Structure 1
């Protein structure tokens, strides 16, 4: 029987790269960026300490790949939540708050890497590319909520407020480093908070436009 540090055989290069990213994300959720190392990821993946360097030249490269993968997965989760929420634009955008909160509680420290300014510049582009996809999805959902004559700036402002409020709601709750037990309840409250905010925002817009 192999030990956790015994290299596993039979990996294709692409499979190992994906496995390293997956294990890197899991490690980030447990230890945060401060406890992240290529050596620890290699142990979790069951490969030699040298194996990761065939795919990632250094720690920053692996961190960048993990951040990009987290952002891509988060975008898919939000889009899926909106699809399941039905046709109402407010419900669809509010649903992303619940999905985001659940994802943040499950991945904890790893999600902070998406917004971290500490990644080396050489590894930021891959993260920025996925971040742009995330914002494009949120912008489309936000645009559907607002009146047709809303400006791009107004749409972007509401999208960023929605995202930042949701991120704060999700990340400020777990105070002891562990996810709360009632993840479903917290996610549901995040949806309610988002819906109330969006509804109030639309009412204010209509009031402003009234004679």
Structure 2
């Protein structure tokens, strides 16, 4: 969902000033009358963290939620509908994580953007939930727009931060290209660790390295522009 073509097609416009989630309610275990969709999404995200998309099924999510295998279909038409709801929840959560990291980094635009790379790596290493889903799953037409809207909000946060860090007047297409490299580097760094190239024993240390790499990328880019 967040490939290069998506960035170029949907983020070449100024941020819309939307607010982004910075926290989420404390999850409750088990099914309570009236909140089954939320429970199913929560358990679906947890299952994705364990098995990835390949191991995801509505029946497994239902079992985790403690309901019959037929119960989810009262709220989600099929597997893709539940996957789309999980993807939207993951993107909303990740968007909030990045926005909060930037806010906590202080007023320096370089540090604010660099902090999102560290937060991204920390999130992937800590959750491992649905990353393959939000990047590569091909959702059907009934659900695509819901996921794209959350993807758009995710990218709007990074586009706004990058626009602040880059020189005033930088063409929006150039901001989008910079963000694409920024996200690609943070994602690649985190996924190499998740996949075992290097053991992610110290998540905070790896997050700090990802932030440092993003900082170097931005400061080097700014130096080239000035030179």
TM-score (norm 1): 0.89
Superposed displacement of residue 50, structure 1: 1.2
Deviations 1:164-192 (A, max 9, x none): 11111111112249972211111010000
Aligned equivalents of 1:179, 1:36: Cα separation in 2: 25
Flag the 1:157–1:9 CA change in 2: closer, same or farther, 3 A: closer
> What residue number does 2:33 align with?
12
Which of 162, 178, 183 is matched with 1:158 structurally? 178
Equivalences for residues 103-122 of structure 1 within 5 A:
103-108=123-128, 110-122=130-142
Contact in 2 for aligned 1:108/1:171 (Cα 8 Å): no
> What residue number does 1:145 align with?
165
Structure 2: gaps spanning 5 or more residues: 1-28
Equivalences for residues 67-146 of structure 1 within 5 A:
67-108=87-128, 110-146=130-166
Flag the 1:128–1:10 CA change in 2: closer, same or farther, 3 A: closer
Calculate the aligned-residue CA RMSD, in Å. Answer: 1.8
Higher relative contact order (CA 8 A, sep 6+): 2
Runs of 4+ in 1 over 4 A off after TM superposition: 176-179
Aligned equivalents of 1:10, 1:156: Cα separation in 2: 42
1:195 aligns with 2:208: no
Deviations 1:95-135 (A, max 9, x none): 00010011111232511211124322321111100000011
Which of 204, 211, 215 is matched with 1:184 structurally? 204
TM-score (norm 2): 0.83
**Corresponding residue pairs, total:** 199
Find the structure with the greater CA-based Rg: 1
Contact in 1 for aligned 2:30/2:66 (Cα 8 Å): no
> What residue number does 1:3 align with?
none
Flag the 1:183–1:136 CA change in 2: closer, same or farther, 3 A: same
Contact in 2 for aligned 1:108/1:179 (Cα 8 Å): no
> What residue number does 2:41 align with?
21
Contact in 1 for aligned 2:57/2:79 (Cα 8 Å): yes
Query: Which stretch of structure 1 is more off in the superposition, 167-176 or 43-52?
Result: 167-176
Flag the 1:206–1:93 CA change in 2: closer, same or farther, 3 A: same
Structure 1: gaps spanning 5 or more residues: 1-7
